[in-house]
Structure 1
Amino acid sequence: MRKSLMRLTLRQLQVFRAVCATRSYSRAAEEMALTQPAVSLQIRQLEELVGQPLFEYVGKKLYLTPAADALQRAGADIFDRLESLDMQLADLQGSLQGQLTLTVESSAQYLVSELFAAFRLLHPEVSLQLSVVNHAQALRRLSVSRDDLWLLSQVPTNLALEFLPFMENHIVAVARSDHPLCRETRLSLQDLTAWPLLVREPGSGTRQACETFCHDKRAHFATTLQLGSLEAQRQGVLAGLGLALLPRHTVSLELSCGRLRELPVAELPLRHSWCVVHPRDRYLSPVALAFLDFIRGQRPQLNALNQRL
């Protein structure tokens, strides 16, 4: 190892990380409560230790050099290890502490609140940093390993991943309670295609699953209306804009009070499983391991809840 690298300080890495995140010396200075000359000095000293420039301007934009990319990855590992050390020290004192960073697909956000609330009863000193995104955005975060764990409905097969299925995800067809199809006792998927179908944005895991399913069943909807979120889909169905294919648990309240009806489609529900996912080679913090163990122990109760829904 270069002797110069042994003189790196955590403060320098914190300043460097702030510049990487903000792509601006001035905004990094604000974030770190420093002056801009102080930030510039820290970065200049860091470049001398590394032996290469870390940033370059193209026009008015600040870009990371290859050396900065390498240092950013190393810095992330260092801070992850320090966070893990803090958790382990807390564990030795008899309590689990730290932060769980979790990315979930938007249709799973309704499950996470219940899960984490139950987890916090056991470990009240654990905090949560939650990112709610669509399937494509979750995969992008997964590719750069930005979080501890991910909750996905479809696990990609082209990545080295560990995954734990913990709850079935049933996608059903729903309509407003006064829709003509609600008078039918048995329907086929093809019967639905004469009506407008409300769909999510491109990149949604639910949309991808439903499009593949309908294509395989040769059910082609003449009219589709693209809405920007699952909540917008649900409100659109309630407003009478059309039908939707939605995870059953996300509309359980509307189904139970009769505002929406689940249509008796022979080919449905479309069944997937929610999975907790992490890269196979990722070092998991004590908090992440504890959350995994918690979910593993909750699987029977979660599936019983799913059956009631």
Structure 2
Amino acid sequence: MRKSLNRLTLRQMQVFLAVCDHRSYSRAAEAMALTQPAISLQMRQLEELVGQPLFEYVGRKLHLTEAAEALQRACLDVLGRLENLDMQLSDLRGSLQGQLRLAVETSAQYFVPHLFAAFRARHPEVSLQMAVVNHAQALKRLSVHRDDLLIMTMVPADMGLEFLPFLDNPIIAVARSDHPLAQRSGLQLQDLTSHLLLVREQGSATRAVTEEYCHQKRAHFPQTLELGSLEAQREGVIAGLGLALLPRHAVRRELADGELVELPVAELPLRRSWCVVHARDKQLSPVAQAFFDFVRRERGSLTALAERFAQRVQ
């Protein structure tokens, strides 16, 4: 190992990973409670130790060089091993302590806090760092082992992943209560195609799975409007912009309040499962393993919880 890397500090690793996460010196400085000049100085010193540039600007956007991507993987590995050591030492003392780094796809963000609350009731000294991402971002994070576990749908078969399906994720058609289709019964998916459909951004699992399903059913929507998040879709439907195909869990409050209605489409709901996922060759931390085992054991009660959510909006 080159001698210069011996001078690499844990603090530099943490600052570097913050810049990688935020793709911005100023946002990394805010997250680390440092000044932007301090971040810049740390990164210049780190580049000197590595002997190669770590970042480059294309337009006004910060990109990682190949050296930075290699360093990112190494830093995540080093810091992850230290976290695992801390958890193992806590385990030896008879208590489970540490942080669970969890990435969840957008459609799961409404249920996961309830899931973690049930887990934390048994392990009160465990904390949570949760990132909400779309499907494409989830796959990228998996490739660099950014998180302990991910919760996602559409688990790819070619990435060597261990996954556990644990909860149904029904996707339904929703409209505003005064929409012309809201008063109709016995709808077919084809009946929706003459109306404007609000869709998620490219990279969204919900968009991918609904587009594939509609293609299979030969239901083609000539009019679509792309909105950048599930929340924007939901608000767009409430505003009267059009229809949307959304996870039922994401709109349960709006359905209960009468702001939205679930359209009685014969081919819906489209059912997919949320899965808890990790790389097959990844050694889980004690906290991550405990959470994975908890989900495995409690699948029955999680389904019952989801059914209670559904009953509240009927």
TM-score tier, shorter chain, comes to 0.7 to 0.9
Matching of residues 49-198 of structure 1 within 5 Å = 53-55=51-53, 70=70, 72-198=72-198
Question: 2:6 aligned to 8, 17, 34, which one?
Answer: 8
Question: What is the distance in 2 between the residues matched to 1:36 and 1:172?
Answer: 48
Question: What is the distance in 2 between the residues matched to 1:107 and 1:35?
Answer: 34
Gaps of at least 5 residues in structure 1 are 48-52
Distance 1:56 1:62, change over 3 A: farther
Question: What is the distance in 2 between the residues matched to 1:41 and 1:222?
Answer: 54
Question: What is the distance in 2 between the residues matched to 1:193 and 1:286?
Answer: 49
Deviation at 1:297, TM superposition (A): 1.9
Instruction: State, as a whole percentage, how many aligned pairs show the same letter.
Output: 58
**Equivalent AA in structure 2 for residue 14 of structure 1:** R
In the alignment, what sits opposite 2:230?
230
> Would the aligned equivalents of 2:153 and 2:205 in 1 still touch at CA under 8 Å?
yes
In the alignment, what sits opposite 1:251?
251
In the alignment, what sits opposite 2:286?
286
> Would the aligned equivalents of 1:12 and 1:43 in 2 still touch at CA under 8 Å?
no
> Would the aligned equivalents of 2:56 and 2:64 in 1 still touch at CA under 8 Å?
no
- Which stretch shows the higher mean deviation, 287-296 or 33-42? 33-42
Deviation at 1:287, TM superposition (A): 0.6
1:18 corresponds to 2:15: yes
**Equivalent AA in structure 2 for residue 188 of structure 1:** Q
> Would the aligned equivalents of 1:195 and 1:242 in 2 still touch at CA under 8 Å?
yes
Distance 1:22 1:262, change over 3 A: closer
SS at match of 1:169: strand
**Equivalent AA in structure 2 for residue 18 of structure 1:** V
Deviation string, structure 1 residues 244-297 (Cα, Å, up to 9, x no partner): 111111111222232221111111111100000111111110010111111112
Question: What is the distance in 2 between the residues matched to 1:258 and 1:41?
Answer: 57
> Would the aligned equivalents of 1:174 and 1:260 in 2 still touch at CA under 8 Å?
yes
RMSD: 3.2
Distance 1:303 1:21, change over 3 A: closer
Distance 1:63 1:12, change over 3 A: farther
The TM-score normalised by the length of structure 2 is 0.83
Question: What is the distance in 1 between the residues matched to 2:248 and 2:42?
Answer: 54
Deviation at 1:78, TM superposition (A): 2.3
**Equivalent AA in structure 1 for residue 193 of structure 2:** T
> Would the aligned equivalents of 1:165 and 1:276 in 2 still touch at CA under 8 Å?
yes
Question: What is the distance in 1 between the residues matched to 2:278 and 2:175?
Answer: 36
Deviation string, structure 1 residues 26-69 (Cα, Å, up to 9, x no partner): x799579979888867875x56xxxxx24478799999776665
Deviation at 1:227, TM superposition (A): 1.4
1:264 corresponds to 2:264: yes
> Would the aligned equivalents of 1:55 and 1:62 in 2 still touch at CA under 8 Å?
no
**Equivalent AA in structure 1 for residue 77 of structure 2:** D
Larger C-alpha radius of gyration, 1 or 2?
1
Give the length in aligned residue pairs. 299
- Which stretch shows the higher mean deviation, 234-243 or 72-81? 72-81
**Equivalent AA in structure 2 for residue 286 of structure 1:** P
**Equivalent AA in structure 1 for residue 6 of structure 2:** L
Gaps of at least 5 residues in structure 2 are none
Question: What is the distance in 1 between the residues matched to 2:82 and 2:206?
Answer: 37
In the alignment, what sits opposite 1:50?
none
**Equivalent AA in structure 2 for residue 200 of structure 1:** R
Question: What is the distance in 2 between the residues matched to 1:58 and 1:187?
Answer: 53
Distance 1:244 1:284, change over 3 A: same
Question: What is the distance in 2 between the residues matched to 1:246 and 1:83?
Answer: 37
**Equivalent AA in structure 2 for residue 8 of structure 1:** N
- Which stretch shows the higher mean deviation, 282-291 or 53-62? 53-62
**Equivalent AA in structure 2 for residue 88 of structure 1:** Q
> Would the aligned equivalents of 1:12 and 1:42 in 2 still touch at CA under 8 Å?
no
Question: What is the distance in 1 between the residues matched to 2:256 and 2:137?
Answer: 32
SS at match of 1:8: helix
> Would the aligned equivalents of 2:198 and 2:224 in 1 still touch at CA under 8 Å?
yes
Distance 1:121 1:56, change over 3 A: closer
